[in-house]
Structure 1
Amino acid sequence: MTERMSKMRYTKARLAREMHISPSAITLKFKNERGFSQSDVITIANILEIPPRDFGKYFFAQSINDK
């Protein structure tokens, strides 16, 4: 996500402003301390021009543990 934000020249603060949330709220979402709502995903996708076919790449990345 941060790569896409850089490409589109967005900081977390600017993204938060456009989403009408506080910079601390966006930080908590990016640190996985708060979840992204469906509305958040759609808003961010629209702002960053992420097509629906790429949602998984940006919003639903999986983590795999080798245990």
Structure 2
Amino acid sequence: MDKIQTWLYDILNAIIEIESFIEDTERSFGRYQDDLRTRRAVERNIEIIGEALSKILKLNSNIAISNSR
């Protein structure tokens, strides 16, 4: 598996984790703001997504990922 596929896999796993953190809860911003653990977990996964996107674009700037910045 090449580096880009690995990073895409990391992005997919981060998205799946985010969905799992919020699937059994009321989906409201107020609830999210009040839940420090969920907020930190979601924020960390967003960081993972951002880091992976950054690595992908540095390795191959010809890859078009809309709204990546």
The normalised TM-score by structure 1 is: 0.28
Structure with the bigger RCO (C-alpha within 8 Å, sep 6+) is 2
**Bigger proportion of residues as helix:** 2
Indicate the structure (1 or 2) with the bigger Cα radius of gyration: 2
Instruction: Please give the TM-score of this superposition, normalised by the length of structure 2.
Output: 0.27
